[in-house]
Structure 1
């Protein structure tokens, strides 16, 4: 198993904790971007696969998430979260000059990663989006008109067909189990609109994966966003029966194998260090 270490930096809204997994001499950098309410510690098994594949893996706990500072799950502007992510990427590129950078964003992290790619795509060799919040999100549409946010816990069966995933989620003290914050809902709405308006990712190789049975972030809604951002090199794979967290699904090995195969294809065809 790859060894990991944490480091901290001054983010846009307070201290941000980042994590790095490494073992041996890497051939690329993989940056993980986690979703709403969770933290990067849930991605250790993904990091292990990527490290064995030749990556040094890193990523932050977003402000208000996990071990980072800030009021829990409060995000007033996702441009701030993108700026924190850029700090992590810049640090990784400084530590590993010349290595290509692949960004992997899940759920809300897919929205953040897409916005990063729109602003700083020249720093990336490839982008992977897992069940990304793009286009429209029914959760935001339902919550936006409400004055009070309902305190209804997530149905953990929507995460994965593996019941152990739901049990671990429920028992994780670093995961937020309370209601949305209204400013975060507004910020999500603004970020979705901003990404749609910015448009195409151009030549950036992009791999979009999604569970066909995802009821948290519905594929038909994400499709709206994918069509808005799709560039010249989009690969996609929808997994029948899979729910929201495809990296934690019963076919997780298949999903991660598809991701590493995509990375191999990109690095073989157009290795680059970014600008």
Structure 2
């Protein structure tokens, strides 16, 4: 089982290789998940010639730790950055796009803000940029996705855990990270794609569209009928197609630096 030395512990990661690869993706999963829930997306990307690498965040999957707990999203971004360095040293010929979902979306955004020359674009799905919405606070009946295969994988996951005890830490960390991302991301000229489900309870597509207008080069897509866990929802093929299209287009154009680095 592959691990690398993280900030304070060993971090498990997966690598899905692709034949005749033209790009690679750093895939960052959401809270309560791990990279094992992304085999389907990784398969779609590798079929399109895009290699995929992804860590299990601290407190998740094979990385272990206190279930769902992590000190900060900044530390998750630092761990992801170590894997990014491994990716670029292993395949220096392949440009990198960062793809993150929910917690992973903010993790990826923080990492993108640090690494102006090491990535070509950023895809954020279900990004909770404004923290926990008041209307979602305390709710236990919110729909995350309607794809039966994904829901079954979560329900029967031997690495799963009760997320409730860790949720206060999650939302506290996301509030800090979201503020940093909303402030810092507009300084980047790199291309960005925001994908949100129409019925996302934590990341409303309307607000994502408003935020996209503040960025230099950003497209916001709302998936009709979709929910928060949009990469693993019923429209997962459409989401994968959007990621493949963006990655292929961006990587053929070459890297773009931040405004401050020019």
TM-score (ref. length: structure 1):
0.84
1:211-242 deviation per Cα after TM superposition (whole angstroms, max 9, x unaligned): 11112433345456555xx4321112101111
Aligned equivalent of 1:271, options 246, 254, 257: 254
Q: Residue 158 of structure 1: SS of its match in structure 2?
A: coil
Cα distance, 1:41 vs structure 2: 0.6
Number of corresponding residues: 257
1:86-133 deviation per Cα after TM superposition (whole angstroms, max 9, x unaligned): 000000000001311011100111111111111113211111111112
**Aligned 8 A contact 2:100 2:107 in 1:** yes
Which runs of 5 or more residues in structure 1 are unaligned?
1-5, 144-151
Number of the residue aligned with 2:174:
188
Q: Residue 47 of structure 1: SS of its match in structure 2?
A: helix
104-113 or 7-16, which moves further after superposition? 7-16
Number of the residue aligned with 1:210:
196
Distance 1:239 1:183, change over 3 A: closer
Q: Residue 123 of structure 1: SS of its match in structure 2?
A: coil
Distance 1:119 1:169, change over 3 A: same
**Aligned 8 A contact 1:64 1:75 in 2:** yes
Q: How much is the aligned-residue C-alpha RMSD, in angstroms?
A: 2.5
Q: How does 1:110-129 map to 2 (within 5 A)?
A: 110-129=105-124
For 2:131 and 2:86, the matched residues in 1 are separated by: 32
For 2:121 and 2:133, the matched residues in 1 are separated by: 28
Aligned equivalent of 1:9, options 1, 4, 7: 4
Aligned equivalent of 2:236, options 236, 242, 252: 252
Cα distance, 1:22 vs structure 2: 0.6
Number of the residue aligned with 1:169:
154
Number of the residue aligned with 2:62:
67
**Aligned 8 A contact 2:145 2:151 in 1:** yes
Cα distance, 1:169 vs structure 2: 1.3
For 2:164 and 2:135, the matched residues in 1 are separated by: 13
21-30 or 176-185, which moves further after superposition? 176-185
**Aligned 8 A contact 1:136 1:222 in 2:** no
**Aligned 8 A contact 2:126 2:202 in 1:** no
Cα distance, 1:139 vs structure 2: 7.0
Which runs of 5 or more residues in structure 2 are unaligned?
none
Distance 1:100 1:139, change over 3 A: farther
For 1:257 and 1:272, the matched residues in 2 are separated by: 21
Distance 1:226 1:123, change over 3 A: same
Question: Is the counterpart of residue 231 in structure 1 residue 203 in structure 2?
Answer: no
TM-score (ref. length: structure 2):
0.88
Q: How does 1:40-55 map to 2 (within 5 A)?
A: 40-55=35-50
**Aligned 8 A contact 1:33 1:60 in 2:** yes
46-55 or 170-179, which moves further after superposition? 170-179
**Aligned 8 A contact 2:208 2:220 in 1:** no
Number of the residue aligned with 1:148:
none
For 1:9 and 1:273, the matched residues in 2 are separated by: 28
249-258 or 122-131, which moves further after superposition? 249-258
Question: Is the counterpart of residue 101 in structure 1 residue 96 in structure 2?
Answer: yes
